[in-house]
C-alpha cells in the first residue's frame, strides 16, 4: 500500500477507522452496499476505499466515484488527493459523468459533441417557441407543469412508455422540444442522464466501451437516485467492483423523482454484501436518541441502530410561541446569547420546511442587527461577468457551441443584433452551427463594413487562443482570453463605480481560483471544467461561503452540519406537510434533526395565518427523551 493510504487513518482528527469502516474499505470481489447514517464517516470511508485500491496498484483512472453535488465531488477529490497524492479525474457528479460521456458519444444520436448544457431560462425559451410554432394557445397551457412533466418523464426507467401514456398534445410538444433543442446545439439538464442512458441501452458496443473504462464503481448517496439514474449506474456497474453508499432514512427528494426504493433494487440486482456503519461521530447522545426515536416509526426502512461515539450529552430544546413573529424574535435573541458564548455565526443555521417562515425569521434577525445569508441571493454562476468569461473559454474549447459564441458576438463592438439575427438565419437555413454560419457569412460577404470586420476579428482571436489550451492551465487561459478581448475595459463599462468594478473583478478572481482547485484535484481538462460549471450554474449557489447565519430549507440542508440548529415551523400541516408522504416527511424531519452537532432548538407557533396550529407530532415521537423544561 502507498504511503499515506493507511486504512487506520482517521476522521475528525485522531480517531482510527472503526471495524465497520475498515471492512467497507477492504472488502473486495463482491458487490457492496454500505448503509451509512448521519455522521458515521461515509465520506472518509469512501476516500479510504479509493486510497486502498490505489495502494494495491489500481490505476486511479480506472476508478469511477459518483456523487450528487459538486461540493461533494470536490470534497471527495480533495480528500483522496490528501491521502494518496493522486488526482482522480473520475470523481464526478452523476450529471458531470454523463456530460463527459456524451461529449464522446452524443453524435450517435444526431447531436453536436460541442453541445451546450442549456440554462433553465434558455430551455423555457425554446419550449415557448415550440408551443408557439405548433399553433397552440400558450395561455391555456401550464408551462411550469409541462416543464415538470418533461423532467419527470426523463427520470423514469422506461421513459418511452411514460411518454406514450400522456395525453395530447404533450407527446407532440415533447418531441418538438427535443428536436428544437438538438437543432440549437443544446441539451437540458435532465437530458444529461436521459440521453446517456438512451445511448447505453440502444448501443451494446458503446455500453461495452464505456463500461470497460473502469474496473471499480463507487456511488455515494445512492438513495438520491431516480430510476433513470439507477438504471445508468446498474448498466455501468455490471461485471466490475461496485460499491453503493447510502441511507434510506435520508431519502427526501421525491419531488425530483428520487426514491429510497433504489436501495432495494440494488440489493435485488446485485445481491451485495451489506455493511452498516453504526457509530455516529457527529451527534451527541440526546440528539441521536431523539433522531432514533423519530425515524424508527417509519416501517419501510433498513434498521441501523446507530450508537453514539461522542461523550457529550448535547442539548435539545422545544419551544412554542403565540405567533411566527414571536418565534422569530426568540431565535434572534437566542443567537445573540450564543454569540456571546463564543459560537461563530457560520456554525449556526436556521432550517425551515418552506421559504415563507424563514423570511419571517430573517426579518427578526435584521431587526436585531444580526448578519445572515439572505435567501434567494443571486447565484454566483448567474453573475454577468462570470457568464461572460465562461462563454469565452467555452467558445475557445468548443467552437461549435452556438450559445457561447452568440454571447461573445453580443459583447463585441461592431456586431449588431441585426447581424447576429442574420447569422442565426444562415445557421438555421443551412442546418449548421453559429460558428460555421459566421464562416459562411465572411466567405460569401453576407455582412459588410464594420460588422464583417468585427466578426472576423472575434473568430481570429478565438482561433489564436485555441493552441494555448494545451500550453496553459485553465486560469491562465482565462487571463490570456481576458487580455485578448480586453475584458477589464468591458468590466469598467458595465460597473457602477470603482467599488462595483472591484467586486466584479473579485468574482473573476474567484472563478480562476475555482479553476485552479479543479485542476489540482481533477487534472487539466478544460472541457470537464466547462461541464461542471454549466451544471453548477443550473443547480445554483455560490462557491464561496459568505459570513452570517444560514437560513436554509430542510431539503437544502442535507449534507450540511452545524454546531447549533434552529428547526422552525414544527407544526402540523407544515412538517409533516398536509400533502406530503408521511414517511418522507418524517425522513425530512430526521435530516433536520441530524444536522446539529451540539444544540438543537425545535420551535413552532400556535397561530399561523389566523389559524390555530398544533405542534408536529414528530416532536412527540421524540418526546420521551425531552427534558421537562423542553416540553412546551
H-type alpha helices, 466-497: 474-484, 487-494
Q: Phi and psi dihedrals of 216, rounded to 5?
A: -135, 135
Q: How far is CA 84 from CA 213, 216, 533, 632, in A?
A: 21, 17, 26, 51
Of the chain, the end-to-end C-alpha distance in Å amounts to: 56
Q: Which residues contact 103 (CB under 8 A, 6 or more apart)?
A: 113, 527, 531
Separation of alpha carbons 396 and 458, rounded Å: 11
Q: Across the beta sheet with 273-277, what order do the strands follow?
A: 91-93, 63-67, 216-219, 241-246, 32-36, 273-277
Cα-atom radius of gyration of the chain, to the nearest Å?
Answer: 26
- Whole-number Cα distances in Å, 169 to 136, 142, 164, 177, 405: 9, 12, 11, 12, 34
Read off the pTM.
0.89
Residue 298 burial by CB count (10 A; 0-12/13-18/19+): exposed, middle or buried?
middle
User: What pLDDT was estimated at residue 4?
Assistant: 43
* pLDDT value for 542: 66
Crossing angle for the helix pair 70-84 and 498-522, to the nearest 10 degrees: 50
Of the candidates 591, 587, 592, the residue with the CA atom closest to the CA atom of residue 568: 592
Q: Measured between alpha carbons, how far is residue 408 from residues 399, 403, 462, 508 in Å?
A: 11, 9, 10, 17
Q: What is the secondary structure of 496-532 as a DSSP string?
A: SSHHHHHHHHHHHHHHHHHHHHHHHHH-S-HHHHHHH
Q: Tell me which residue of 314, 310, 306 sits closest to 286, measured CA to CA.
A: 314
Give the sign of the dihedral formed by CA 426, CA 429, CA 433, CA 436.
Answer: negative
Q: Which residues of the chain have pLDDT under 70?
A: 1-15, 374-378, 541-546, 624-632
> What pLDDT is attached to residue 235?
95
Instruction: Dump pLDDT digits (tens) for 389-421.
Output: 999 999 999 999 999 999 999 999 999 999 999
Beta bridge partners of 565: 349, 600
Inter-residue contact 487 to 389 (CB < 8 Å): yes
The HSE-up count of residue 211 (CA atoms within 13 Å, CB side) is 21
Summarised one tens digit per residue, pLDDT across range 103-133 is: 999 999 999 999 999 999 899 999 999 999 9
Amino acid at each position: 500500500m502507498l504511503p499515506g493510504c493507511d486504512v487506520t487513518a482517521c476522521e475528525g482528527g485522531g480517531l482510527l477507522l472503526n471495524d465497520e469502516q475498515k471492512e467497507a474499505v477492504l472488502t473486495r470481489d463482491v458487490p457492496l452496499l454500505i448503509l451509512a447514517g448521519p455522521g458515521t464517516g461515509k465520506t472518509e470511508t469512501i476516500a479510504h476505499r479509493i486510497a486502498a485500491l490505489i495502494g494495491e496498484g489500481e490505476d486511479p483512472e480506472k476508478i469511477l466515484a459518483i456523487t450528487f453535488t459538486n461540493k461533494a465531488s470536490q470534497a471527495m477529490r480533495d480528500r483522496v488527493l490528501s491521502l494518496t497524492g493522486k488526482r482522480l479525474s473520475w470523481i464526478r457528479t452523476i450529471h458531470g459523468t454523463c456530460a463527459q460521456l456524451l461529449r464522446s458519444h452524443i453524435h450517435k444520436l444526431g447531436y453536436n459533441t460541442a453541445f451546450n448544457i442549456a440554462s433553465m431560462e434558455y430551455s423555457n425559451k425554446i419550449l415557448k417557441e415550440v408551443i408557439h410554432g405548433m399553433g397552440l394557445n400558450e395561455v391555456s397551457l401550464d408551462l411550469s407543469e409541462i416543464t415538470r412533466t418533461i423532467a419527470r418523464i426523463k427520470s423514469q426507467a422506461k421513459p418511452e412508455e411514460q411518454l406514450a401514456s400522456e395525453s395530447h398534445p404533450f407527446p407532440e410538444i415533447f418531441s418538438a422540444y427535443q428536436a428544437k433543442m438538438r437543432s440549437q446545439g443544446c441539451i437540458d439538464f435532465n437530458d444529461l442522464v436521459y440521453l446517456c442512458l438512451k445511448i447505453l441501452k440502444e448501443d451494446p458496443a458503446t455500453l461495452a466501451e464505456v463500461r470497460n473504462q473502469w474496473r471499480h464503481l463507487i456511488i455515494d448517496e445512492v438513495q438520491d437516485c431516480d430510476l433513470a439514474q439507477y438504471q445508468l449506474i446498474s448498466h455501468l456497474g455490471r461485471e466490475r467492483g461496485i460499491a453503493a453508499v447510502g441511507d434510506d432514512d435520508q431519502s427526501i427528494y421525491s419531488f425530483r423523482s428520487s426514491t429510497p426504493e433504489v436501495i432495494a433494487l440494488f440489493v435485488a440486482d446485485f445481491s451485495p454484501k451489506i455493511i452498516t456503519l453504526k457509530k455516529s461521530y457527529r451527534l451527541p447522545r440526546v440528539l441521536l436518541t431523539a433522531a432514533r426515536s423519530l425515524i424508527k416509526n417509519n416501517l419501510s426502512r433498513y434498521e441501523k441502530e446507530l450508537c453514539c461515539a461522542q461523550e457529550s450529552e448535547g442539548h435539545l430544546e422545544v419551544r412554542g410561541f403565540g405567533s411566527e413573529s414571536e418565534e422569530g424574535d426568540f431565535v434572534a435573541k437566542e443567537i445573540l446569547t450564543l454569540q456571546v458564548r463564543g459560537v461563530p455565526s457560520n456554525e449556526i443555521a436556521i432550517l425551515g420546511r418552506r421559504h415563507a417562515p424563514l423570511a419571517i425569521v430573517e426579518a427578526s434577525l435584521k431587526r436585531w442587527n444580526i448578519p445572515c445569508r439572505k435567501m434567494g441571493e443571486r447565484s454566483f454562476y448567474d453573475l454577468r461577468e462570470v457568464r461572460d468569461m465562461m462563454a469565452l473559454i467555452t467558445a475557445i474549447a468548443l467552437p461549435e457551441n452556438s450559445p457561447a459564441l452568440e454571447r461573445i458576438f453580443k459583447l463585441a463592438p461592431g456586431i449588431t443584433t441585426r447581424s447576429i439575427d442574420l447569422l442565426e438565419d444562415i445557421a438555421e437555413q443551412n442546418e449548421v452551427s453559429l460558428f460555421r454560419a459566421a464562416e459562411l457569412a465572411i466567405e460569401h460577404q453576407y455582412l459588410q463594413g464594420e460588422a464583417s470586420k468585427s466578426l472576423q476579428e472575434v473568430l481570429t482571436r478565438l482561433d489564436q487562443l485555441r493552441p494555448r489550451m494545451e500550453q496553459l492551465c485553465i486560469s491562465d487561459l482565462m487571463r490570456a482570453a481576458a487580455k485578448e478581448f480586453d475584458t477589464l475595459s468591458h468590466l469598467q463599462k458595465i460597473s457602477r463605480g470603482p467599488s462595483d468594478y472591484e467586486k466584479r473583478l473579485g468574482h473573476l478572481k474567484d472563478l480562476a481560483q475555482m479553476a485552479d482547485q479543479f485542476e489540482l484535484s481533477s487534472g487539466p481538462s478544460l472541457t470537464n471544467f466547462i461541464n461542471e460549471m454549466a451544471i453548477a450554474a443550473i443547480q445554483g449557489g455560490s462557491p464561496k461561503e459568505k459570513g452570517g447565519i444560514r437560513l436554509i430549507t430542510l431539503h437544502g440542508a442535507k449534507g450540511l452540519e452545524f454546531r447549533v440548529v434552529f428547526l422552525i415551523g414544527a407544526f402540523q400541516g407544515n412538517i409533516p406537510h398536509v400533502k406530503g408522504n408521511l414517511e418522507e416527511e418524517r425522513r425530512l424531519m430526521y435530516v433536520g434533526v441530524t444536522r446539529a452537532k451540539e444544540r438543537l432548538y425545535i420551535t413552532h407557533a400556535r397561530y399561523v395565518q389566523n389559524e390555530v396550529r398544533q405542534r408536529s407530532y414528530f416532536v412527540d415521537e421524540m418526546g420521551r427523551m425531552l427534558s421537562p423544561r423542553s416540553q412546551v
